[in-house]
Amino acid sequence: MNHDAYPDNYIRGILNSVKSIAMVGASPVNVRPSYFAFKYLAQRGYDMIPVNPGHVAKELLGKPFVASLRDIGRPVDMIDIFRNSSHIMPVVEEALTLDLLPKVIWMQLGARDDAAAEKAEAAGIKVVMNRCPKIEYGRLSSEISWMGVNSRTLSSKRPPAPTQGMRLSLNRMSVGGGDTAASDRAAKNKSEQS
């Protein structure tokens, strides 16, 4: 997989197929990006599991925190890592010891570890880096268009009137890859510098 520019179909396929998501580094502080993403994905019907050893015995939007991936005690489809790039590898290594491997490992906006991605991909796991699943879901459904964001999708179909907490269709025609050509280039230059 070219981690500089994901085809929309790759992201669409992941968001359409996974049902359970363990979020490593989920925060109960309601101004942290992980809290936003956790809440949004839960509203869109994903089975969310907060993983953060600092908050065990507490809950996040009604879901009990667990200390580690192993403590979840059941298979999960996707692991969403809300940690800095330097903390990715141990999480991926732990994921690879699970009895049933996740189908997807997703690293949050700003997080990228190519070596960890290679390890996960070698085990047959799909990897997404430096993206936010909330933003991607909002983009592919065009819900993010309320914010003036370029969804990079088009549709001439009449969408259903949205109701609270409903799943949205992600099957709009794509205008291109996950981001604009210019923003992709900028991200690539940044990752090559660091």
Partner 1 sequence: MSDRLPGFSTLAVHAGAQPDPTTGARATPIYQTTSFVFNDADHAASLFGLQAFGNIYTRIGNPTNAVLEERVAALEGGTAALAVASGHAAQVVVLQQLLQPGDEFIAARKLYGGSINQFAHAFKSFGWNVVWADPDDVASFERAVTPRTKAIFIESIANPAGSITDIEAISTVARKAGVPLIVDNTLASPYLIRPIDHGADIVVHSLTKFLGGHGNSLGGIIVDAGTFDWSAGGKYPMLSEPRPEYHGIRLQETFGNFAFAIACRVLGLRDLGPALSPFNAFMILTGIETLPLRMQKHCDNAKAVAEFLAGHPAVSAVNYAGLASDKYNQLARKYAPKGAGAVFTFSLKGGYDAGVNLVSKLQLFSHLANVGDTRSLVIHPASTTHSQLDDAAKIKSGAGPDVVRLSIGIEDKEDLIADLEQALGA
Q: For residues 163 and 165, what is the distance between their CA atoms, to the nearest angstrom? A: 6
Task: Tell me the per-residue interface mask from 9 to 48 with partner 1, x by CB under 8 A, - otherwise.
Answer: x--x-----------------xx-x-xx--xx--------
Contact 128, 140 (CB under 8 A): no
**Short-list 145, 111, 142, CA closest to 128:** 111
Which residues are within 8 A (CB) of 130 and not within 5 positions of it... i.e. 6 or more apart?
Answer: 3, 107, 108, 109, 110, 111, 112, 187, 191
Query: Under rule CB under 8 A, how many of the chain's residues touch partner 1?
Result: 52
Identity of the residue, 35 or 46, whose beta carbon is nearer to partner 1 in the bound complex:
35
Identity of the residue, 124 or 158, whose beta carbon is nearer to partner 1 in the bound complex:
158
Candidate list 86, 100, 157, 192; residue touching partner 1; CB under 8 A: 157
Smallest gap from residue 90 Cβ to partner 1 (A): 22
How many Cα atoms occupy the beta-carbon half-sphere of 108 within 13 Å?
23
Smallest gap from residue 179 Cβ to partner 1 (A): 6
Smallest gap from residue 18 Cβ to partner 1 (A): 18
